[in-house]
Amino acid sequence: MKVLIIGSGGREHALAWKIAQSAAVKNVYLAPGNGGTAGEQKCENLPDCTTAEAALAFARSKGIDLTVVGPEEPLAQGIVDRFRAAGLAIVGPAQRESALEASKDYAKAFMQRFGVRTAASRSFCDYKQAQAYVQSYLTTQSSVVIKADGLAAGKGVIIAEDLSTAQSALLSLMSVEATGSDAGKTVVIEEFLAGTEVSVLAAVSIVPGKAGVIVPFIAARDHKRRFDGGQGPNTGGMGAIAPVPDFSQAAYDDFLHAILEPTVYGMQQEGMDYRGFIFFGLMIQENRCYLLEYNVRLGDPETQTVLPLLESDMVSLCSAILDGSLATFPLVWKAGAVCTVVAVADGYPGPYRRGELITLEREKLIHTGAIPFMAGTYTKNGNLYTNGGRVCAVSAWDSSPQGAREKAYSGITAVNFTGMQYRTDIGAY
């Protein structure tokens, strides 16, 4: 069997690593892949394959049996629609369903329509009205959350505690000149929710006319802020732990009842054909879950944390998603915990240097049992170089969360490049 994976991040490296373990898989191709996937067993990078057209042409000519899409951009641009139209098996939602991530306004309207518990919000496309609304809102509330409607690579959410911050957020998100894209035109203004965050990734098989199902994976906690103690700017994710020690059974039951079940119902009512993965970004307040957002894909770095806990075969899981048998698929998880620490380039999430030589002390990695998943990297003449802000994630399993943390932190010292930085408190809370 030949599998094609779309994307180039750490999540895609973890997907490739897991998919390559399937006995049925002979080749894994990555479009375009990264410096880590280049050396993974059974894997081959397609560096020139960076568009949906190129991926489709490759899948046709190579006789690809299964395609899995990692990131949100190709999903929002309709790569799944193209593959489906060509009769090719692909895991991921079509363009219409991808609006659950690509448009926060659409997602909030969906949540409100079907009673998925979420922060109260209003959407605006008129700057003056939005400004008047935040001004009156902040006379009674101490903070407000302002979100760009479209995909904004994690930069579209501003939490404002005063009027001038809120006003400059509105200006930067709503002026097309400032954002250079449609992402800035509509904003969602919502109530600020305090609490602890949890990410639940899940497999989705909702097919019109069939009994649909969403099967949650083990919950994970991403650490989004750049610095220890949750300080500093938001990033794509500095590390994660799974399972989440403080995500109680009561909170999980509430998630099923208040968020997952109405989502399944809503998708069916809307006649969606959704065969892929979904990511529930949750805020938990005293065992009550609120949905901050849907992502229509797996999370990064949560995937690097959760997949090493998955015992089940990934290709069989993908087949069950596609053929409608997910409800009876035996999803088996390893006991214990996985901690993932992300090494980033100095300066990230601001400007940073690329092209630094990366060395990996393989012996040390083998000794700790830690798995390196590469992100922003490339290979040249057999060497590995940095090529992005998030460079490498190291994931380690242990029977206890504390042991997983220790192994991940020991593993990350096997990775070296000039300017390398990481948080020291991943999984500590």
Footprint of ligand AMP on 100-119 (CB under 6 A): 119
Query: Which CB sits closer to ligand GLY, 291 or 365?
Result: 291
For residue 214 the two structure tokens come to 């969403």
- Site residues for ligand GLY per CB under 6 A: 222, 237, 295, 299-300, 302
Query: Which CB sits closer to ligand AMP, 190 or 273?
Result: 190
Kindly state the smallest distance separating residue 245's Cβ from ligand AMP, in Å.
19
* CA-based torsion, 365, 310, 302, 243: positive or negative: negative
One-letter amino acid at 294 equals Y
Query: Which CB sits closer to ligand GLY, 281 or 403?
Result: 281
Strand spans (E) along 346-387: 357-360, 371-374, 377-380, 383-386
Phi first, then psi, for residue 179 (nearest 5°) are -90, -25
Question: What size, in residues, is the chain?
Answer: 429
For residue 328 the two structure tokens come to 């009876």
Phi first, then psi, for residue 104 (nearest 5°) are -65, -30
| Residue 322 binding partner per list ligand GLY, ligand AMP, none, with a CB distance cut-off of 5 to 8 Å that depends on partner kind | none
- Closest residue to ligand GLY, based on beta-carbon distance: 299
Query: Which CB sits closer to ligand AMP, 192 or 265?
Result: 192
Contact (CB, 8 A) for 55 and 30: no
- One DSSP character per residue, 237-278 reads -SEEEES-TT--HHHHHHHIIIIIHHHHHHHHHTT--EEEEE
Between the CA of residue 9 and those of 32, 78, 93, 296, what are the distances in Å?
10, 20, 19, 16
Footprint of ligand AMP on 21-40 (CB under 6 A): none
* CA-based torsion, 110, 113, 119, 123: positive or negative: positive
| Residue 390 binding partner per list ligand AMP, ligand GLY, none, with a CB distance cut-off of 5 to 8 Å that depends on partner kind | none
| Residue 356 binding partner per list ligand AMP, ligand GLY, none, with a CB distance cut-off of 5 to 8 Å that depends on partner kind | none
| Residue 299 binding partner per list ligand AMP, ligand GLY, none, with a CB distance cut-off of 5 to 8 Å that depends on partner kind | ligand GLY
Kindly state the smallest distance separating residue 53's Cβ from ligand GLY, in Å.
26
CB within 8 Å of 58: residues ≥ 6 apart = 4, 29, 31, 46, 49, 64
Return the number of other C-beta atoms located less than 10 Å from residue 242's C-beta.
31
Contact between 145 and ligand AMP by CB under 6 A: the answer reads: yes
Kindly state the smallest distance separating residue 229's Cβ from ligand GLY, in Å.
19
| Residue 237 binding partner per list ligand AMP, ligand GLY, none, with a CB distance cut-off of 5 to 8 Å that depends on partner kind | ligand GLY
Write each residue from 213 to 242 as x if it is in contact with ligand AMP (CB under 6 A), else as -, in one continuous string.
-----------x------------------
Contact (CB, 8 A) for 387 and 355: yes
| Residue 193 binding partner per list ligand GLY, ligand AMP, none, with a CB distance cut-off of 5 to 8 Å that depends on partner kind | ligand AMP
Kindly tell me which residue out of 27, 42, 95, 197 binds ligand AMP, with binding defined by CB under 6 A. 197
| Residue 302 binding partner per list ligand GLY, ligand AMP, none, with a CB distance cut-off of 5 to 8 Å that depends on partner kind | ligand GLY
Cis status, amide bond into 301, omega within 30 of 0: yes
Footprint of ligand AMP on 254-313 (CB under 6 A): 281, 292-293
Which residues contact ligand AMP (rule: CB under 6 A)?
119, 145, 147, 157, 159, 190, 192-193, 197, 224, 281, 292-293
